Structure 1
Amino acid sequence: MKWAAVTDADLMGALNAVMYSYDPVAAENLIEYFHERFSNEMPYNQDVLLAFVKMAFRRIVDDELRIDIAFGLAQQKGKHRRDDTTERDVMAAAFVILRMRRGAKWSDAVGEAANLLMPDGTGDRALQMAYARYKECFSSLPDEVLVGLLPEELRSYRPI
């Protein structure tokens, strides 16, 4: 039996992962565990089952979610976890403003920032948005302050 050695702590961990973050593997494991236990008429953790079902029913009724989303098997559109990019965005905006003050065109400055801060090639649009978000408050800052917002390796950056 696949789930014979599962502890109550394992079940609580899986339940918390489903309740408080998106973890479809934990949701599938809970469902498989309870299915195995029911199918083989084995004892199961009734508290975890009740909490899991109550959570799903509340999500279905109150939040009007589909069943697969309510049980944690799928993610609601637009609700995926996003990385906090504030630090990167602040650095990018400071870098772009500094480059433009030194004569670079906006598009070139954004491209340089994207190449340096996001070398995987995915960053132009994200860094354009970062610049737009911070340009108003950063534009009045002196160069020394903006340079202080950059990581050490970008403070002395000079394009080839």
Structure 2
Amino acid sequence: MKHYYFFLVFLLFNSCQYFEKQVPSEKELLQKELKAINWKEVDEYPSFVDCDNLDNKSQRELCFFEYLTELIQQKLSSDTLSILYPELDTIEVKVTIFPNAKMKFEPQFPRDSVAYDTIKIDSILHARLVDFPKVNPAIKRGIPVKTQFILPVILKVE
């Protein structure tokens, strides 16, 4: 009987290995998680302090874009851009917001932009588009990330 207990204990300890499940490697788990993430969307859009008090995500996004468009239009409305190029009524501006809350503006010109002095327009935009209020960068999974978008800005003649 003693041998049977010894045999049962031996069998019990050896049989545990048959019930073990294979644990996926760290790289497999990482690849699976990276594929599950939607890299084209952020969890929270960039925002200004004035828009942070809104509860709805889509309202904060809309508030940010309207506020930014309005600020850019105000800064460009008192400039000679509309006088130099009266046929230019809208400029598309590529806005980049970095994780450290810095903003960069680049004008986007149509392919047939030979009629415009792109270097002059670019220098005017860089000179005028400064001193913006503090912007909170976009958030993806709790981490500030770089975002880019193209914003159409209507030039107003006053």
TM range (shorter): under 0.3
**More strand, by proportion:** 2
Q: TM-score scaled by structure 1?
A: 0.24
Larger CA Rg, structure 1 vs 2? 2
Q: TM-score scaled by structure 2?
A: 0.24
**More helix, by proportion:** 1
